[in-house]
Every structure is written in C-alpha cells, then in structure tokens.
Amino acid sequence: MTQSTLFSPVALRGLQPRNRLVVSPMCQYSAVNGFANDWHFAHLARFALGGFGIVMVEATAVTETGRITHGDLGLWNDAQIAPLARIAKFLRDNGAVPAIQLGHSGRRAASQRPWEGDGPLTEADAQAGGDASWPVVAASAMAHRPNYQVPLALDEASLEAIRQDWRSATQRALQAGFDIVEVHAAQGFLLNSFLSPLANLRDDRYGGDFEGRIRFPLEVIAIVREVWPQDKPVFVRVSATDWVEGGWTGDDTVEFAKRLRELGVDVVDCSSGGIGYPTPPLAPGYQTRYAARVHRESGINSMAVGLISEPVAAQALVADGHADLIALGREALHNPQWPLHAQRALGADPLGYELWPIQAGHWLRNRERARQAMKYNKE
C-alpha cells in the first residue's frame, strides 16, 4: 500500500491518531434534556467504521442555558456522562480517537432547530412543542441578529460561574472517556463574542483592546488545560476572521494562537465568521489559508476545515505543510467512508481493504477480485 502524508500518523501528546482526518463537530439538534441517544451513537459510530482518525462529538453545552436549541447535547450534570461514554468507547474500540467539543452558545442561545425556523424561539414554539425560550448572556448587551434577544452582559459573578461550568463539564468529558477536548471559541458563541470587537463593547478588564478581549477566553481555556491530563491534547476552534471590516482579523488570530500555544493548547481549529453573519467568498478550501498562516506563524498545529472534499486537495494541505489535520463536516455526512475511499484514490493497493472493518473488508476484497477476473476474461 502506498503511504500518503494524509494517512500518516500524527503525534498529539500521548496520542497517535491513525491518520490526519477529523470529523468536524456537527450539531444534530436531536438530544432531549441534553442527553445523547441512539441517533448520536449511530451518527458518530459510522465515522469510526469509515476510517477517520479523530471523531469529534458536536458542540456540547457546559450549562443548560448555554445550549443553542432544546436539542443540543449537554454535560452540565453527571447523568449525561453515561450515554457519551458509550459513544467514546465504541469510537476507540474501532480505531478512532474519541473527541468532544465543549461550548456555550452565548447570544446564539434560545434558538429554534434549523429545520424549525432557525431563528429565536417564540411563544408559538413554546405552545406548539414546549420549546420555551430562556434569557441569554453574552460579552455585551448586543443581540446576535436584529430579531434575537438582547443578551444580559455578564458581570464578574456570572463570569466566575461560567468558568466553573467549564471546569465541571471538562471533568465530566474526561470521565466519559474522551481523549481530546475542543473549546468552542468561534462562530458567534460566547467566547467568540468576547474576542470580536464587533460584539464586545465592554469597558472593564474584559473588553476594550486586544488584551482585554482575549482575557476571559484565555481564562476558560486555561481551566480546561488544567483539568485535562497532560498526556491528552486540547484543541481550540476559532473564527479566524469575522469577514467584516473592523472585526476580528487574521492578524488577531495569529497572535491569539501564540497565546494558546503558551497555555499548552495543541491544535487551533480554523473556522471563520459567525459575528454578523456576512457572506464569505465561498469556494473549495476557502478557509484553509488561515490554517496555513496559523501553522506557519504561530508555531502551533493547525486544523483546516471548510469545503474540503477532494482527496488530492486534502493531501496537498498536509504534504505542503499548510495544516496538520484536515476536518470534514458535510462531506463526511455525504460519505462516511470518505477516508477509506480517499486512500484508494491516492494510490492504495486496489485489493487492499485492510483499513476497512473486517466484516466488510473481506466481502469488498472478494468483489474486487471478481471484477478483475471478469475484466481479464473479457480481454
């Protein structure tokens, strides 16, 4: 079998995922009271069987009021550990590193599920399905969008309570058996609302200049790194740009990534947008230049994400030193066996099905042999 850089192991503290491919955290909006269920198990299990090196559970709320919707996963109480532990064990037993993203949605909270309107919860939602709204919080009293709630600007006591929510949720993620934890500091979530000058209008030590705006996110991330074992990696997802003039920039991301490296963060997951929802210039790999810059200028591992679908392009990002990990989201939904097909597309032995689950691989190898025999007989 031809070895490609994309399928080479990568050292992340005490871990060595089997390849550089990651399933990006994708909210399923299918939990009840924050609990994972059979949908989440089946949704995530297929990616381990499909050959991904790291499989990451969707944004999981550190507190009940930090959910985006009533369907979000949570780790705000101990009872939520067991169903996630079942998922983590299956992922590990089938060759993937189990990972989880922890988040607080901030001013994006109290929203409808995307297929039920994708806006703020209304009285009609409460009457129709019992999905009542709740008060939301953020860095400043600015609504996520014009029709959303105006959040309560967090005071010192509330900031401390949220720090402790992160500590407790991180401890629960560890008890559930996850090997990687990712802090969600992107896409309009709570920590992103502190980072962006468009959403943070505070005049205390958590606002103002760059140093003030990064203070609370760094405090949270420091707590996560403190709780998480030293032989296990911590990731942070950032919005590398707001796509808005006067907002967070690529320069800010590079400097923030340097601070993350100093805290002991291992990987910066480079997404973008979420503050103000402008339309970015969508194109294949449109965000990968941010991962490349973080990798090059910050001295920290980076993960590229965003409309990456072709194996050759993904391979080039790693081989050319632009990213250490490649995350797939919607492409993984479209093809949960993407890594296994990609490896063959990049030159693997056509009869080599060793990376497939043995229950499927032996059938597929026999099918390939039969196809080759038919071709030979025709000739």
d(CA 239, CA 243): 9
> 129-166, pLDDT tens digit by residue?
899 999 999 999 999 998 999 999 999 999 999 999 99
Q: Inform me whether the pLDDT recorded for 329 exceeds 80.
A: yes
> 239-288, pLDDT tens digit by residue?
999 998 899 999 999 999 999 999 999 999 999 998 876 667 778 888 89
Return the pLDDT at 377. Answer: 66
Class of domain 5-345: alpha beta
Instruction: Output the CA torsion sign for 72, 325, 333, 351.
Output: negative
In this prediction, residue 1 has a pLDDT band, given cuts at 50, 70 and 90, of very low
Helix (H) or strand (E) holding 243, with range, is none
Mean pLDDT of 296-316: 94
pTM attached to this predicted model: 0.94
d(CA 374, CA 226): 60
- Residue pair 276/198 in contact by the 8 Å Cβ criterion: yes
Return the pLDDT at 349. Answer: 66
First to last CA, the chain: 26
Looking at every residue in the chain, the average pLDDT score rounds to 93
Return the pLDDT at 241. Answer: 94
In this prediction, residue 2 has a pLDDT band, given cuts at 50, 70 and 90, of very low
In this prediction, residue 3 has a pLDDT band, given cuts at 50, 70 and 90, of low
Domain boundaries, the chain: 5-345, 349-379
3-state secondary structure of 119: coil
Return the pLDDT at 357. Answer: 85
> 12-66, pLDDT tens digit by residue?
999 999 999 999 999 999 999 999 999 999 999 999 999 999 999 999 999 999 9
Return the pLDDT at 351. Answer: 64
